[in-house]
Structure formats: structure tokens, C-alpha cells
Chain A
Amino acid sequence: MSAREEALKVIESVLKSGRTALVEYEAKQVLKAYGLPVPNEKLAKTLDEALEYAEEIGYPVAMKLMSPQILHKSDAKVVMLNIKSPEELKQKWEEIHENARKYRPDAEILGVLIAPMLRPGREIIIGVTEDPQFGHAIMFGLGGIFVEVLKDVTFRIIPITEKDARKMITEIKGYPILAGARGEEPADIDAIVDMLLKVSQLVDELRDYIKEMDLNPVFVYEKGKGAVVVDARIIAKAPEEKKE
């Protein structure tokens, strides 16, 4: 199956269920199809599955409850980090479901994502939005306050070239943080370039299906050590929004 077909299968099944917002797990499936680096994580439908997956991945793990009604997971307290043992996992399984019910009693629960605990890296954000005149645009910036407060981001219209990607990275004000300021090792710029190009290709090929996208945060490690998408959101286009 081509990357496009694989990604489309996920998006179409989401649309079929009457939703346009993909939950994190689904969004990551789409990204994975295009070779973007996502963690080795699994969606557990039952506690037994959760225990099994945690064993597979190896403790400590993170748990994130997946519900189409809960898009801001931290607000709903449905993210549990650094779970060290099966006992703790069992306890948190109850807690996470209880929090979800408290936050949105009607929340439909698709499962709980069991994910490895990731080593923190420098945080970046990659986004996509559709402009009415120029079509899809890709955004790049540093994560956290750089995007929230300083709005230190840059855009290009999709598709982009490798030169565009490199220019995007160097033109943000926060670039020295990636280049390695004050004795810090430089971040893996090539990995970011690769991600930007893959997102561009993904959206270019699926432009009739994707409305917007946030990979936020993405951890970028030291030069040569790669990067990983920690959280992701995709909003698909409702069938009536498609141009055809």
C-alpha cells in the first residue's frame, strides 16, 4: 500500500464515523505512513491490553486517553506520565477513565495510548493550515512560549523545497537555540528539514482531505540523533468541503 493509501484509510474511517478531528493516535498513524518519526506506541482498548503493551514497550510508560470529545488532554487530566510498574498502571487506568468521565460525561473513549517515556529534546512545532487564496501553508517554529507568546513562527506555501525548509529553520528568531547557543550541542537540523519535507509531501498528496494539522510538540535531539513527534492533531476536511 502506498503512503497515500495508508494515510487515506485512516482519514476515511474517521470521516465515516462522522468526525473530522483525528485523535492523536489516528493522526500519528497518518504521519507514520509518510515516514515521520512517531514513538512506538499502541492503543489499548482494555486494561489487559494496556498491561501487555506496557510490558512490550518497557516501563516507564506514558498513558494518554483517546477521545474525540477530549482534544485538550491536559485540561481533562487524561495524560499520565512516568508509570513505572503494572500496579501503578492499573491504578492510573482507573484514574484516567474517571477524569475523562468527570470532564466530559458523554466522552466516547477509543482507548488509551500506551507510549514510551521520551527523553526531552528541544521543542518545535510544525503546523499546516489552508489559506483561501494560496492553499495549504506549512508553519515552523520553536514550541512553548516561542509560539504561544512570541509568535516566532514562519510560513511557506506547500509544496516546499529543501531550500525553503532550511531557510524556514534559520529565519526564526529562536534559531540560535537550535544551532546551539552557549555551549549547547546543535540540534538535528537535518531531521527537522526531513520532517518539513515529509509534511509538505503528505499534505500536497492529501490536499483534498486535510484542513489543518499541528505536530506539537516535536522533540528534536542533538545532531544525528533525530526527532520525534510527541503529540499531533489533524483536522480532516468534511466531505462537503472537498473540491472535486
Chain B
Amino acid sequence: MAEKIVEELKPFFEPKAVAIIGATDKKGKVGNVIFENFRMNKERGIFKGKIYPVNPKLDEIEGYKVYHDVKELPDDTDLAVIAIPAKFVPATMRDIAEKGIKAVIIITGGFGELGEEGKRMEQEILEIARANGIRVIGPNCVGVYVPDTGVDTVFLPEEKMDRPKSGPIAFVSQSGAFAAAMLDWAAGEDVGIGKMVSYGNKIDVDDADLMEYFIHDDEIKVVTFYIEGVKDGRKFMDAARKITKVKPVIALKSGRTEYGAKAASSHTGSLAGADTIYDAVFKQTGIIRAEDFEHMFDLAKAFAALGHKLPKGDRIGIITDGGGAGVMASDAVARFGLKMAELSDETIKFLKENFPPHAVAGNPTDVVGDTDAERYRIAIEAFTKDPNVDAIVIIVLFQVPLLEEEKIIEILADYQKKSDKPIVAVAMGGRKTDRYARMLEERGVPVYPTPERGVRAMAGLVRYAEYLRKVKGE
């Protein structure tokens, strides 16, 4: 079963030969952008497969032979990307079935989202797919983006949308616009995305299929979903329960429609909005719910960096060089349901012995504004050794004059590597701070621009660790 889903979905992510149906030489058209994506990635040496443009009216694009018909395609074609008007898609699907291609991405919109005729066509496409063992992503989507293999069906040209680097995060989105904006944003923030799937109307491949697939995908450490709705709730829950035992899943659920209100003949009915039900589903399956876009990314970043060393408990130690930031972080610890660690006597003693008198040994520990990197090192050393501390939030205001930036970055990265306690950093500031934050993230320390966001991301790690302990204890 598991192997089956891997085998079925593999061509979407690493095709041997892709047919682009509706490829064209007209700049800016969807069929042109997708073709160009593959062509450019081939030129760069990232896409290793073959590219077969299909268009009845052209013989050649950019030196590539154009096939006039799906039936003429070489037999090694294992992925078809469809970017032709909706009304031609069912007939094309029949040709695809005959040709024996088993993976299809339908980019084209104008189906179920437009009404009855579109729904009928979707049904027809699905029947062809089912009868011939074809898996379909879409329609009405931007498809798939995989930086490692050069698969890129996102029809937004590179001049307009940056592509993120490769990384351990999988991102799945119902909305194509959201997926595209997210990729662009990830690129801007230097966050790595291993695989992106936008499935649009998801007539076939759905969240549950993708969760099953990602269980077996070793490149992916955390899976992030943007969900509007789920069609088969049981299938979703079964797949979610399986994957969350292996890797974290984050979901951002939109559409807070209270359809339950119309069934308001009971108290329960009137209170069971879609949202409360999703809350329940996420709790029962161990999916971590993101409150908003920002939270989703903060969590993804935390899990990508620290999924391998989750906190053993919920006791947080805070180190800061600014008193106010320490208070904000402490408030956030309470707000997100965590505890402030009570430092051991040895820790306090060690800090007092090694600190100048005006630095504050406690939790938060305040190394104060005249700190250098060494004073941070002393504090981190003590916190990582203290059995009462499960996770550490380190606030670094890079602006203070004596703090050697490279040195503090080195220290944080070093402790992140050698300690089994997860460390997140908070760096508040502008352009200069951003630059150091990037350097820290390069070295495996996730950095957040406010104490709240840093602590909230840590709370996600704590909750997931609790969930894992719970399911493994059962």
C-alpha cells in the first residue's frame, strides 16, 4: 500500500520525461512559462528528464521538437502537464490513457469551480483516470515545484516570482495563488522548500495521498498544509494519524464558515462550526494548527531546524541582553501555555560567579547591554547543563556595542549542535540584524523577529513532542 502510493506519485516529483500539453512560444502564456521553467532548469542541469512540448500548430520551440498529438509522444513519457482550455481536457485525458501515461497535472481552470458543466467534465476526467490507473493533480492549480529535480509547473515567470532554495519543508496548498505567494516569500526569507504541491480542485490526489507519500520521503522533515476543506474526513484522519507519528504536520485552515449553524436544532449543532470540528480533527491526529500565515512559517522553520531534537518538556529558559525583551518573552511563555524553568542552584551559583555584578542571574537571565559574546556563552553553557531547562530561547539584540557578531553566531551554532536541547533565537531589529539572523539560520539556529514569535514557535515543538510521547505511550 505504502509502496504503491510512492510509486504512483513519484513521477510528479521526479519524472523521466514530461509532456507539456499546450506548450507554446507565445511569451507569458501559461504553456510557455511552464515549458520555459523546464527548459531553463534543464539548461541549468537541474532537470535531468526529457521535455516533450505538445502543440498541434507548432513544429519546434527553442530547438525542442514539438509533438502534434499526445499519441505521437515517445513511450517513456511518465508525466503530462496540461495547460489547454478546459473543454479539450477530457479528450486529451483519453489520449493520455491510451498512451499509458500515469501521472497528470491539470493546470487549467474553469472546471468544478465554475459550475455544473465543469463538474461534469471533472467527473469524466476522474472516470478516465480511475479506469486507467492514472493519478491526477488539479485541475485549477499551479501544480508542483521541486527545486532538487527541477520540476516547476508554476506558471508565474521567474522575473515575477522568485523560487526558493531546496530545504526540508513540504508545502501543500489548495490555493494556487497562496502557493505561489508562499514560494515567493520563502525565497525572500531564504527558507528552503523541498516540495510544493498545489492541487486546486483536488479531484484525485488529495491531502491524505500526499501525507501517505511524505511519510516515505526522507528529504522532507516537516509537512505544511494550507487547507480550505477536506472531502473524505476519515481518509484524512487515518493518513494524518500515520504521518504525525513520523514527522510533524502543520495546517493552516481557512474558511471559518459556520455551516453547522443551519443545523441548529440542538446546542451542539449550533456550536459545531466547521472550525471547531477542524480543531478537534487536528487535536486527535496530532496536526499542529497554525493561526495564520506567519505562524505557519514560524513553525515550519522551527521544525525544519529542530525536528530531530524536540524538547523533553515544557520548561523554557530565557537568555537576553535586553530586560524588556526578556519580560516580553516571559509573558509569551505563559501565554502559549509553557513554563518558565526554575534554574538549579548550581546554575545560579555558576552565573553569579562568572558574571559581573550588574548582570542578572535568573530566568530570564539578563546579560545586559554591555555584554560581549563570552557572557552569552557562560549563560548558554549553564542553561544547557541545567536539568531543569528543557528548551532555550536566546534573545540577541545585535545592536549593543560590545557584542562581536561573528562570535555570538558561532557560539549559538556551536551549542545548537552539541546540546540536545533545542535553541531558538530572537533578533529584533532592522536590516543589519536581518543579515545576522540569516547567518544564524544558515548555521541551524532558527531566528524570530519578536520574542512572542520565537516562544510561540517553541511552543509548537513542545506540543508536538508531547503528542509523540502520548501516542508512543499508548
Contacts and interface: CB of A to CB of B under 8 A. Distances in A.
A134 B271 contact: no
Interface in A167-225: 167, 212-214, 216
Contact of A154 (B260, B274, B280, B470): B280
A157 B280 contact: yes
A155 B266 contact: no
Interface string B139-162: 000000000000000000000000
A59 B269 CA distance: 36
A130 to B, nearest CB: 8
B272 A134 contact: no
A163 B469 CA distance: 13
A155 B230 contact: no
B337 to A, nearest CB: 10
Contact of A212 (B232, B237, B266): B266
Nearest to B280: A155
B279 A216 contact: no
Given A157-B237, A212-B263, A129 B279 contact: no
A44 interface: no
A155 B267 contact: no
A156 interface: yes
Nearest to B229: A133
Contact of B266 (A151, A153, A214): A214
A54 interface: no
A114 interface: no
A213 B277 contact: no
Nearest to A155: B280
A134 B277 contact: yes
Interface string A126-169: 01110111110101000000010001011111001101100100
A157 B281 contact: yes
A163 B474 contact: yes
Contacts of A31: none
B268 interface: yes
Interface in A101-132: 125, 127-129, 131-132
A167 B282 CA distance: 14
A137 B267 contact: no
Contacts of A147: 267, 271
B277 A214 contact: no
Given A137-B277, A151-B271, A157-B237, A127 B283 contact: no
Interface residues of B, number: 28
A131 B234 CA distance: 11
A148 B384 CA distance: 48
B277 A139 contact: no
Interface string B255-266: 000011001011
B284 interface: yes
B231 interface: yes
Contacts of B237: 134, 157
Contacts of B231: 133
B284 A233 contact: no
B233 A135 contact: yes
B280 A127 contact: no
B113 to A, nearest CB: 18
Contacts of A235: 265-266
A139 B269 CA distance: 9
B276 interface: yes
Contacts of A125: 267-268
A123 to B, nearest CB: 12
B397 to A, nearest CB: 36
Contacts of B230: 133-134
A131 B260 CA distance: 8
B234 A213 contact: no
**Residue of B230, B236, B265 with most partner-chain A CB within 10 A:** B265
Nearest to A164: B284
Contacts of A128: 268
Interface in B222-243: 229-234, 236-237
Nearest to A153: B271
Given A156-B280, A212-B269, 14 more contacts: A125-B268, A127-B268, A129-B266, A131-B277, A133-B277, A134-B280, A139-B267, A139-B268, A139-B272, A147-B267, A157-B281, A160-B284, A167-B283, A212-B268
10 contacts: A125-B268, A131-B260, A133-B232, A133-B236, A139-B271, A147-B271, A154-B276, A154-B280, A155-B276, A214-B266
Interface of B: 229-234, 236-237, 259-260, 263, 265-269, 271-272, 274, 276-277, 279-281, 283-284, 470, 474
For the complex of A and B, the 4 pairs showing the least CB-CB separation, nearest first, are A127-B268, A134-B233, A133-B233, A155-B280
